[in-house]
Structure 1
């Protein structure tokens, strides 16, 4: 299993994020200090507009509910056992709170590549490794709605 990450949390527009990930410089491998002038930066991609467009297509009959409520059994299992419950109701059924499932992908993650992590751990892992991406998927465990909510990418700014 990967290294243990323990960090503080920050609330931004109703969402909880890892405060240290976004505020601290990346540590170097040798002496614990990154070369001057370079720091880790998390770029964020929010997929809210894509989600709204998809839901609008369903409401107008251009897509069926069966097409959008199609979560893979492994994603459903991850949402049930590892996912973190959000405050938002499912936009499809409205009967359950959405669960957030976090995956991290990166070339240097090796055995941790593509695993499910708690949100704060996933953000920290992505920030610590340039080229890594943390994906947050929202899942309804009742109707199997799922949609990519956000992606966080580490990059080095100089």
Structure 2
């Protein structure tokens, strides 16, 4: 059995360096419930974030901690030097699996969004990839800035 090093990852699709933001999330909700924070400070999802969640997200079985009515939707944003101009895009779970085998290191941020009250919060983050560095993707010739 070999050990995983920076250049050798046994399974690039298994998340590494996982960070769960549950404590931060719980703290935010508790601050609102105790009156230290306004609901509008928590429920401030941008229109584009809500639309992205609606069209590209995955519905979870978790209920919104603020309105306690609507199931939360998760969307995954990917970042990395190797992604070049495509860093910061939303990707579906099946795309993350494919990307994990095509790139050395991709940072994924999972954001939860409520369509009911506009709650949004980073749920988790992790790293995917096979550990082998590659050149950044180039901007397509027809790319509009």
Q: TM-score, normalised by structure 2?
A: 0.75
- For 2:56 and 2:70, locate their aligned partners in 1 and report how far apart those are by CA, in whole Å: 16
- Residue 66 (structure 2) pairs with residue 92 (structure 1): yes
C-alpha distance in 2 between matches for 1:61 and 1:123: 42
**80-89 vs 109-118, greater mean Cα deviation:** 109-118
2:80 corresponds to which residue?
A: 106
Deviation at residue 123 of structure 1 after TM alignment: 5.4
Shift of 1:112: 2.6
Structure 1 residue corresponding to 2:49, chosen from 75, 78, 85: 75
Q: Secondary structure at the match of 2:35?
A: coil
Aligned to 2:31, which of 52, 57, 80?
A: 57
4+ residue segments displaced more than 6 Å: none
1:36-92 deviation digits (Å, cap 9, x = unpaired): x82146221100110001111111111011000000111111011110000111110
* CA spacing shift, 1:127–1:91, aligned 2, 3 Å: farther
Larger strand percent: 1
Pairs aligned (count) = 123
**How much is the aligned-residue C-alpha RMSD, in angstroms?**
2.6
TM-score (structure 1 length as normaliser): 0.69
Higher relative contact order, structure no. (Cα contacts within 8 Å, ≥ 6 residues apart): 2
